[in-house]
Amino acid sequence: ANPPYSGGVLGRYTLDVTGLAPGNYLLDLTDPTLTGSDAVEHRPNEVPPAWIAVDEPCSPMPPTPSPTATATPSPTPSPTATATPSPTAVTTHLEAGWNHVCYLGPSQPIQQALADVGDGLLAVYRLGPGQGYDKWFPDRPGVSTITNVDSYQALFLLIASSLPWTQEPAGPPADAITLVPGWNSVCYTGQTKDVELATAGISGEFGVLYVLGPGQTWQRFVPGRPDVTDLAALTQFRPLLILLTQQGDAQWAFDP
């Protein structure tokens, strides 16, 4: 990478991909060798998520589906019942590539929790309080470290192709969470509001907040820095990354 990571300077990086096989790569800019491999964990340590390049420049495009014949309805078709989504259902549009999502269902084994995502799910990562990632790969239990998923946990999903994912919240979420020093991956369950108001209930100091926006681009909010802030509001059930800069834990009351 050029220039090398200097512990706080955001620069432009160039990666020589000669010899890399097609696939998905998570690049750790603190690693001078920038080695990447499918289903291998590269921990970002304290590198802000905007500086972790996650891309698929070498991945083949998904095949274009062949047109399918449309059945001609009979002159007197019988009415067909259509399932109506629950009023509380929440639909998330998953994009091909990496997605940061809130899991809203009940606590259960990860296979059941993400069953509706389908066969296009390639990998799951979850940031823990120790700043390391647990991971899960379908049909690879030997390298997977996630067994269960709890309600209102934030997850990183690697998806092969775009699809809608509909969930029903499993009861009322907590009205406050605990933040630990360093990076926190959390599900914001408060009411939709301006980002400054949404973060007013944080009892400690934080340096930056990131959300993964449309097109898999990071948007950020930096307290007191409108010149580098491009995130205006937080919506309910929005996953985010927040960097707590103080020594001890802090509480975040979503709707104080």
Task: Please write the tens of the pLDDT for every residue from 165-208.
Answer: 999 999 899 899 999 999 999 999 999 999 999 999 999 999 99
Distance (Å, whole) CA 94 – CA 117: 9
Distance (Å, whole) CA 168 – CA 173: 12
CB 34 within 8 Å of CB 15: yes
Q: SS3 for 27-94, per residue?
A: CCCCCCCCCCCCCCCCCCCCCCHHHCCEECCCCCCCCCCCCCCCCCCCCCCCCCCCCCCCCCCEEEEE
Model confidence, pTM: 0.68
Can you say whether residue 118 is alpha, beta or left, with left for phi > 0 and alpha for psi between -120 and 50 degrees?
left
Cβ-proximal residues to 72 (8 Å cutoff; 6+ apart), any chain: none
Residue 51 CA from chain centroid, whole number:
15
Distance (Å, whole) CA 239 – CA 229: 18
What is the predicted pLDDT for the residue at 19? 55
Q: Work out the pLDDT band at 22, boundaries 50, 70, 90.
A: low
Task: Please write the tens of the pLDDT for every residue from 92-143.
Answer: 999 999 999 999 999 999 999 999 999 999 999 999 988 999 999 998 999 9
